[in-house]
Chains A and B, each alone.
Chain A
């Protein structure tokens, strides 16, 4: 097919604005998938994606569309909406010439809408705004059109009103894709250049690369090279997604589809890399490649310590499918052997933990999430510390820097006071506000990444009654007065409860943790102290009084066995606890405290 009859586009939107439903409708309308084969969220294949209604991996699909008597090939690349996966979003954008920018007709423009629209413009994409869910009560298409003009600087006439649910506007969208989006760019480069925008691991085929061919042509048997690593491979299969994989003889310029090579290890093919022919390599890579780095770290431990090997095998399998996941083994006095894992963000972390539980049937505990602190020692050595355990002695520390983010927060005007209070509570500085419309304001602020790890987004949603939203990008490191907060149970430090916090917050947090632990820990045969300490100085203290009564009266008319069974049960219960000094801490205490220590 001529490149003039090919369109590559994606749909970008704030999470929950109906992107996947709209994609389903496009597939149905172009008869790529027959109605009877449709199931909701056709492009989301992981159970977890369907259940949470979110897209984690991008799924490309090719649709044939007849327009004014001519056949067009429309390649749609679905993208994840959540900020954790923004690198995947930008890779998907790089594979396209245009984007449908989806906006919920009731919710309006959100922080992510703006962020994604900017990403798309930076990549030189043509944007078609689509106001979705116009058939819902509470839809204000006129208001949204105004926002599109004011915030995104796109003329209001360009917006298409649609509904993924009922199919309104679907034909208008398809026509706009053909008429308004440019045909594939950079197709006249003499050398073959193929962008890898995603990859998945398949047990039988090995690594399947989702690709966009910019110039040249790829076919089975070709020897190719990965430009970022120099790794060579033989192409074994090429094809398109329909949405199932459909092998083809070759993939030419402008096409979107997949390539299977002889490479079996996901880590050997980097997302964003450029594939070229080994014999006639391109001189220059396609733009925009960067390494993905984990942002959030947490220890993952099996609840039953004998599950360590099972966890190890499961982590390896997960990583095969998710190159963004990094991990290394670590051990904790309280939790035994486990792994320190790096995630793209909180959602990524939750998803990995959930997949371990669900797909690998593992009971796990995760420790308090942490970020990477940059510690400069007095001797000049610079350390990256992602685990409070490895923070050097304070006498050896010159400075500690923490990662910062630049956040864009959209909030209803009436919530602005509470929002600013929250930002300041989280040690943030708001330096710029902008009016979005009569009812909404956009705040720009700098925040420590550490402070948004746990409950920031929940609190934001609660303050704004669901109307607020946030997008952020990393904004380097900043020196901060950070200390290690230790929790001591009966004078023994419990490493799993340690965290790195700002000095001003240590006491508050220490107090909260001690109070919570007092409620969670079972009473022991003796009184124990629960303390919070910063570098050996006690800043909070609770005491858990001794268990007073544990005796049962009857001895069952000589039925010693019955009594014995009860005691045996009690003994086994104690065995499953972690012994910290003289104190027995049940596993679920760790889970409870880590879940609530916000």
Chain B
């Protein structure tokens, strides 16, 4: 089985590092320009936020995302890592750090090794220099190879490559070439993201001005092509966008999709922790001000209940290839009325969108391509 086992009370720690030297056209994540003073204030803030939380729960995984965590100089990476370790009851089982190929340097790699980081996620996006340029990325193909070699040489044996497809101007041949180039490097994990048009991005503006176009048919073709090519190359799909060698699925993400618990630290980071779901305010100054006062500024605070968790466990669980064990779900959320699900499952199975065997509900390949529509229907069925 591809999926490592995770206990139900596992806790993931997500750290949002909000600094980017440049805003990519497609990115809607919170980011700031990396000014020295801000980096220092940010690092102080992370320490104080963790003080406020007072973690006693064991942390299973750590994930540094951004922004561009790899943009931090080596000494700051070290300081951030040490701050975390000082606040945790013990070392994590998996520790991932997102790295942009353009920002990889020997001293940074060394700092990550020393801290005990176990997994690197490289934002490659494409090996095609023209497409990288159009996306507004700061690196080129040569830098990707250089970064890759540096990580491997230093002993990192669990590396993910992030790739993007359905980019403006990208042909199917371009994309297949990218997939094969990635597989030829032999990473343990590959994530493939279909370009998403999100509000508040430069790409969205281009879309609304008609400078770029969406083609859902072509997106569907890209998806199917991706799934076939990676399966043939020995990368098993375990989620809509994620593929891994056996035993190399990202534990941190699996934990999230199974609706367990996670704590987000840093501006804009999201948490599902101690009975609530919330996001930190997406603004460095406001985040710091709240933490200094001892009252974190949070948005979208929702008190967790079984119905919400059960629905989301289904919505996000179905995005995984292994699907959802309904018997286990019923047991875990005993208070929830799952009876409306039966008719829905039957009609979806009739349409060939889901499979239901051995108490386990899974999307078919066609259903997986419609996972959002399925999710919206599930909300309608279960939260009426």
Contact = CB atoms under 8 A, between A and B. Distances in A.
Interface of A: 525-526, 547-564, 566-568, 570-571, 574-575
A553 B370 contact: no
B300 A561 contact: yes
Interface in B179-235: 192-194, 196, 216-217, 219-220, 223
Contacts of A548: 216-217, 220, 369-370
Contacts of B256: 555, 558, 560
Given A549-B370, A567-B372, A560 B380 contact: no
A550 B270 contact: no
B241 A553 contact: yes
B316 A550 contact: no
Contact of B63 (A525, A550, A551, A557): A557
B127 interface: no
Contact of B270 (A547, A558, A570): A558
| Residue of A561, A562, A567 contacting most chain B CB atoms (<10 Å) | A567
Contacts of B373: 525, 547, 550, 570
- Point out which of A525, A548, A557, A566 has the most chain B C-beta atoms below 10 A from its C-beta: A557
B312 A560 contact: yes
Contact of A549 (B14, B220, B353): B220
A525 B344 CA distance: 13
Given A550-B370, A554-B241, A568 B271 contact: no
B372 A550 contact: yes
Contacts of A560: 256, 259, 270, 272, 277, 312, 316
Contacts of A557: 14, 16, 29, 63, 65, 264, 269-270
B220 A575 contact: no
A567 B223 CA distance: 20
Contacts, number: 108
B296 interface: no
B111 interface: no
B257 interface: yes
Contact of B379 (A552, A556, A568): A568
B302 interface: yes
A574 B241 contact: no
B14 A558 contact: yes
B359 interface: no
Nearest to A548: B220
Given A525-B353, A553-B194, A560-B256, 14 more contacts: A547-B373, A549-B220, A549-B223, A549-B370, A550-B369, A551-B319, A555-B316, A557-B14, A558-B270, A560-B272, A561-B302, A567-B315, A568-B379, A571-B376
A89 to B, nearest CB: 50
B262 interface: yes
B81 interface: no
A154 B371 CA distance: 78
Contact of A558 (B12, B29, B353, B368): B12
Contact of B240 (A525, A553, A559): A553
Contacts of A570: 372-373, 375-376
B118 interface: no
Contacts of B312: 560, 564
A574 B270 contact: no
B124 to A, nearest CB: 15
A391 B55 CA distance: 74
B351 A525 contact: yes
The 5 A-B pairs with the shortest beta carbon distances in the complex, nearest first, are: A549-B220, A570-B376, A559-B270, A551-B371, A548-B220
A115 to B, nearest CB: 49
B279 interface: yes
Contacts of A563: 316
10 contacts: A548-B217, A548-B220, A550-B371, A551-B369, A554-B193, A555-B253, A558-B14, A564-B315, A570-B376, A571-B379
B370 A551 contact: yes
A549 B369 contact: yes
Contact of B279 (A550, A553, A554, A559): A559
A525 B347 CA distance: 11
Given A549-B220, A551-B240, A567-B315, A561 B379 contact: no
B219 A571 contact: no
Contacts of B264: 557-558
Contacts of B65: 557
A547 B372 CA distance: 12
Given A552-B196, A553-B240, A558 B272 contact: yes
Nearest to B14: A558
Given A548-B369, A561-B279, A570-B373, A553 B193 contact: yes
Nearest to A561: B300
Contacts of A571: 376-377, 379-380
B370 A558 contact: no
A550 to B, nearest CB: 4
Contacts of A551: 194, 223, 240, 319, 368-372
Contacts of B220: 548-549
Contacts of B216: 548-549
A525 B12 CA distance: 35
A194 to B, nearest CB: 64
A111 B240 CA distance: 68
A564 B372 CA distance: 10
Contacts of A550: 369-373
A560 B278 CA distance: 9
Nearest to B65: A557
Nearest to B64: A557
Contacts of B369: 548-551
Nearest to A527: B351
Nearest to A560: B312
B370 A552 contact: no
Nearest to B15: A557
Contacts of A562: 270
A567 B375 contact: yes
Nearest to B66: A557
A551 B134 CA distance: 24
Nearest to B12: A558
Contacts of A566: 372
A547 B351 CA distance: 12
Contacts of B270: 556-562
A526 B370 CA distance: 11
Nearest to B193: A553
Contacts of B375: 567, 570
A547 B370 CA distance: 8
Contacts of A564: 312, 315, 379
Nearest to B63: A557
Contacts of A525: 351, 353, 370, 373
A361 B142 CA distance: 62
A574 B372 CA distance: 13
Nearest to B381: A571
Interface string B264-301: 10000111100001110000000000000000000010
B205 to A, nearest CB: 19
B379 A567 contact: yes
Contacts of B377: 571, 574
Contacts of B253: 555
B241 A558 contact: no
Interface string B330-372: 0000000000000000000001010000000000000011111
